[in-house]
Structure 1
Amino acid sequence: MQRKKIIKTAILFSLSVLSFQQINAQQDPQYTQYMYNPATINPAYAGSVDRVQIFGQYRTQWVGLEGAPKTTHLSVTTPLTDTGLGMGFHFKNDHLGVTDQNSLAIDLAYTVNLNYDYKLAFGLKGAGSLLDVNYDKLHIYDGTDPITEKNISNKFSANVGAGVYLYSDKAYVGLSVPMILSSNRYNDKEYKIMNEKAHFYLMGGYVFDLNHEIQFKPAALVKVVPGAPLQVDLTANVLFYEKFTLGAAYRWDAAVSGLAGFQVTDGLFVGYTYDADTSKLKNYHSGSHEIFMKFELSNKKKRKVAPRFF
């Protein structure tokens, strides 16, 4: 029992240190069901919506492991005019170990028609975040370490992002960098506590009509961060009778997932995901959970034929 507690403490410390040491790592939160709100990682998606979308998502990762990540994301995406302009608003709280970060972001996107089937959207993102680090929660071995002498409160940083999004009624491909600027965070003594790197995302998916009642959608997401391992997510969802969604996902060398969703009303869709870890860390937690709700306000000018997969 004592050995397990020591291991958990060591892991907590490692997770926290990753947040403020000068290293290259993946820092953006990850979502298994990203395809229902691509605006999270690609601002150009705001140009593809034809009605107001309200999206809420909560992810608790590595349940049972002290200090594990917990992420809350709320967003509103809306068309501005009938000429292809769209805008998105995002709030995100990301909690990891002794760090807590709140972010606000605004997307602005514009869509052009390429041909009868395909459209291309361009998007820009502006974001600002406040970082808190509470060193008092750590078991400090060396109390004289200047980095941990004083907690960090509301440390502000700003960033910009961009993306492109090619889509039709059946397919989409997106390329984005939600946060372009690499930035360093310092404490009051000018010690570097965090080195944020740009994250590059490439995503794509397609909807196959198997028959009148069943649709199949494979999707993929590739994330590239300088100095960090390549991350690849492969997902397959099946929609039954425009009501029930079941699926599975695989995150390369990290996790396998089960996905489920239900179209409660014409405008309300809810979903749940369970991730089972496949890495060595699986022995110290009971998996990850993700829930989300997507609400679309009706557009009287455009009749909604079927629920959107993306």
Structure 2
Amino acid sequence: MKKNILYILGFVIMLMSSASIKAQQDSQYTQYMYNTVSFNPAYAGNRGALSATAAYRNQWLGVEGAPETLNFSIHTPINLERLGVGLGFTNDKIGPSSESTATADISYTIPINRYDLKLSFGVKAGLNILDINMNKLNIYDPSDVNLVNKTLTSPVVGVGLYLHTTKWYVGLSTPNMLNSEHYDDIKVSTASEKMHMFFTAGYVFDLNSSFKFKPAIQTKAVIGAPLSVDVSANFLYNNRLTLGAAYRWDAAVSFLTGFQVNENIMIGYSYDYDLSDFSNYNDGSHEIFIRFELGNGLKNKVNPRFF
């Protein structure tokens, strides 16, 4: 069993490193801990219930053409929780472009020892559609061959690993390991999709019967852009109220809150304050999400899982 796990780890890491990474483009979330399946397909089914999450992010409020992101995902375990499947949709708008990605996820979980240590590995596949509307720009040279509306499509193939117990987790993934270059009729490169690598980790401390504390980290790497590092700390009170803060290296500080309305529904909100000079020109970034879960086997009781 251990030898097979090492083979699997080596194979997935080899796939992840098979393409160069050059530009940071993937969606950014402050509350990434509630939307893990969007960037790591190995998480599909790991909540032990049918789990659907919708999230909306409005970045740099007050800036015309600033990024807006809408994400929806749904995943569930099947076959005695060894197999997980999921579907996802993301729409990113920034300036003249609107990018939509639809994906399907599948994961498989292997128990490693009798202390609840498990390894999940997963695959993501789908389609990316990039619409570029040049009518939203002030065009000074109408004869420029690059300044025409375009619709560009490319495939999506991602892989991920997720090592976890009920107390901690470590994940390594890429939501799309394909590098796609889009060209027009005269071979001028108009857009490109580059591979991003995500590393996540977190641990849950039981402070007492009422409070849990979970520090977590996410790093996002792509050649040609600074390494993105998010560090967060969340406190969970009575399995219902979550309060926390986060720091994005040299970029922003954030306030996070969430509330478990009942055993099926959780809502959350976060606010980012920009730490750069750009903070003089925007009113921060806002993010909201709602999660609905069904089939967790709990009656009249909030699901106590923190991740």
| 1:14 counterpart residue number | none
User: Does residue 125 of the first structure (1) align with residue 124 of the second (2)?
Assistant: yes
Tell me, yes or no, if the aligned pair for 2:45 and 2:78 is still in contact at 8 Å. no
Gap runs ≥5 in structure 2: 1-20
CA drift of 1:162 comes to 0.2
Following superposition, the deviation at residue 303 of structure 1 comes to: 10
Task: Show the counterpart of 2:156.
Answer: 159
Shift of 1:304: 7.0
For residues 65-89 of structure 1, what are the alpha-carbon distances to aligned partners after superposition, in whole Å with 9 as ceiling and x for unaligned? 0000000000101112105000110
User: 1:263 maps to which residue?
Assistant: 260
- If the length of structure 1 is used for normalisation, what is the TM-score? 0.89
1:78 aligns with 2:72: no
Find out whether 1:111 has 2:135 as its counterpart.
no
For the 8 Å contact 2:296–2:303, the answer to whether it is kept is no
**Which position in structure 2 is the counterpart of 1:142?**
141
Give the corresponding residue for 2:192.
195
Is it true that 1:33 corresponds to 2:21 in the alignment? no
- The aligned residue for residue 304 of structure 2 is 307
Deviation at 1:42, TM superposition (A): 0.3
**Unpaired segments ≥5 residues, structure 1:** 1-22
CA contact (8 A) 1:207 1:215 kept: yes
Q: In the superposition, relative to structure 1, how do residues 124 and 304 fare at CA in structure 2: closer, same or farther (>3 Å)? A: farther
The corresponding residue for 2:283 is 286
Q: Which amino acid aligns with 1:28?
A: D
Select which of 223, 235, 241 maps to 1:238: 235
Q: Which residue of structure 2 lines up, in the alignment, with residue 228 of structure 1?
A: 225
State the 1:292 CA deviation. Answer: 0.3
1:307 Cα deviation from its structure 2 partner: 2.7
Mapping 1:28-67, distance limit 5 Å: 28-67=26-65
How many equivalent residue pairs?
Answer: 286
For residue 122 of structure 1, what is the amino acid of its counterpart?
Answer: F
Judge conservation of contact 2:169–2:202 (CA < 8 Å) in 1. Answer: yes
Structure 2 SS opposite 1:283: helix
| Residue identity (%) | 51
Aligned pair partner of 1:101 in 99, 110, 114: 99
Secondary structure class of the residue paired with 1:211: coil
Q: How far, CA to CA, are the matches of 1:151 and 1:283 in structure 2?
A: 32
Provide the C-alpha distance between the structure 2 equivalents of 1:47 and 1:78, rounded to a whole number of angstroms. Answer: 4
Name the structure 1 match of 2:4: none
Whole-Å Cα distance in 2 between the matches of residues 215 and 248 of structure 1? Answer: 15
Aligned mates of 1:180, 1:118 — CA distance in 2: 27
Q: Give CA-to-partner distance per residue, 1:92-143, whole Å, 9 cap, x none.
A: 1110100001110011100000112211000000020111101111112222
What's the offset of the Cα at 1:144?
2.1
Instruction: Indicate yes or no: 2:213 matched with 1:216.
Output: yes
Kept after mapping to 2: 8 A contact 1:24/1:195: no
The question of whether the paired residues in 2 share the 8 Å contact of 1:36 and 1:309 is answered with no
CA distance in 2, matches of 1:278, 1:86: 39
Cα distance in 2 between the residues matched to 1:245 and 1:277: 23
| Alignment-derived partner of residue 248 in structure 2 | 251
How far did residue 145 of structure 1 move? 1.6
Match of 1:173 among 170, 173, 192: 170
Q: Quote the Cα distance in structure 2 between the aligned partners of 1:40 and 1:76.
A: 10
